[in-house]
């Protein structure tokens, strides 16, 4: 019995580290279509981190969809290309911790090599994959905003729909949800 216990404790520790590491990444997903609305398979999607120049690539599936996971949060350039079509480039896409950014593209037919550049500010930061509401408090806000009680959890009240609860828990309620239904992440890890 003792040997089973001594083996399972290190394994649990390793799995918890893996989960913590996975929650500190982001993903890009989307669908690539042509100008008629038909899906484009085998289109190449390349992401490049602007800070590190690290790049990752993927091909769209037969349904025209793609997904690039385990991206380090930061500013990315995303290039979507397929021979016979104008390439589409998103020049500044900001990814945050645990974000799934949806980037759909419509490729126009082209006989010559052309590229359409879309500035990152035009990309909607809306997660189309789930309905959760999230807000990121940046380090500049933590340093520069006055906190009367010196409690960093007060910064969560900056989120839309967030109010201080008046129950015995004295927690936070977001858009009418229960105070127990909140999840706080600090640098991508559960707190």
Instruction: Break the chain into its structural domains and give their ranges.
Output: 23-122, 139-190
Judged against a pLDDT cut of 90, whether residue 54 lies above it is answered with yes
Average pLDDT over residues 36-60: 94
Edge to edge, what strands does the sheet with 87-95 contain? Answer: 55-59, 44-49, 74-81, 87-95, 115-118
| Averaged confidence pLDDT in the chain | 78
SS3 state at 60: coil
What pLDDT score does 20 carry? 47
Q: What is the pLDDT of residue 1?
A: 47
36 and 57 Cβ atoms separated by less than 8 Å: no
Check whether 69 has a pLDDT greater than 90. Answer: yes
Cα–Cα distance for residue pair 62/144, rounded to 1 Å: 49
- The Cα–Cα gap between 123 and 94 comes to 9
Quote the CATH superfamily of domain 23-122: Carboxypeptidase-like, regulatory domain (2.60.40.1120)
The two structure tokens encoding residue 95? 């990814």
Digit-coded pLDDT (tens) for 101-160: 999 999 998 866 666 666 655 565 566 666 666 667 777 877 787 777 777 777 777 777
Specify the pLDDT at position 63. 94
28/67 Cα distance (integer angstroms): 6
pLDDT(79) > 60: yes
Per mean pLDDT, which range of 80-89, 96-105, 134-143 is the poorest? 134-143
């Amino acid at each position: 019995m003792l040997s089973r216990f001594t083996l399972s404790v290190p394994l649990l520790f390793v799995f918890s580290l893996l989960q913590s590491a996975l929650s500190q990444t982001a993903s890009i997903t989307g669908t690539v279509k042509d100008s008629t609305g038909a899906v484009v398979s085998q289109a190449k999607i390349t992401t490049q981190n602007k800070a590190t120049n690290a790049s990752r690539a993927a091909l769209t599936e037969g349904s025209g969809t793609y997904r690039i996971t385990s991206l380090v949060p930061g500013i990315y350039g995303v290039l979507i290309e397929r021979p016979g079509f104008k390439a589409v480039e998103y020049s500044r896409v900001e990814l945050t911790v645990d974000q799934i950014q949806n980037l759909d593209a419509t490729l126009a037919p082209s006989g010559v090599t052309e590229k359409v550049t879309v500035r990152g500010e035009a990309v909607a930061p809306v997660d189309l994959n789930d309905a959760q509401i999230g807000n990121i408090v940046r380090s500049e806000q933590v340093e520069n905003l006055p906190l009367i009680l010196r409690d960093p959890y007060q910064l969560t009240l900056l989120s839309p729909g967030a109010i201080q609860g008046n129950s015995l828990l004295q927690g936070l309620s977001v858009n009418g949800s229960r105070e127990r239904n909140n999840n706080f992440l600090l640098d991508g890890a559960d707190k």
